[in-house]
Amino acid sequence: MPTDYNVVWSDEADRNVDSILNYLKEAWNRETANDFLGELLKRVGMIARYPEAFQK
């Protein structure tokens, strides 16, 4: 069974995600921003679970 690792977000990455979400809320709507965040977190979860699949 795979072990989930912790994904550590840098301060810059955190600010960038906040900026993207704010843009999506203003340019589109809250639902679009929430959809984006859900998809992003799903992908980050995949990286946490299977980091070897995302090597450089």
The single-letter DSSP state of residue 28 is T
**Residue 35 vs residue 56, higher pLDDT:** 35
3-class state of residue 9 by DSSP: coil
What does the block give as tokens for 45?
């979860």
Predicted pLDDT at 3: 85
Average pLDDT rounded to a whole number, residues 20-45 = 98
CA–CA distance, 9 with 47 (Å, rounded to integer): 13
The closest alpha carbon to 23, from 42, 36, 11, belongs to 36
Predicted pLDDT at 19: 98
Query: Kindly report the CA angle at 32 between 38 and 4, in degrees rounded to 5?
Result: 10
Given a cut of 90, whether residue 12 has pLDDT beyond it is yes
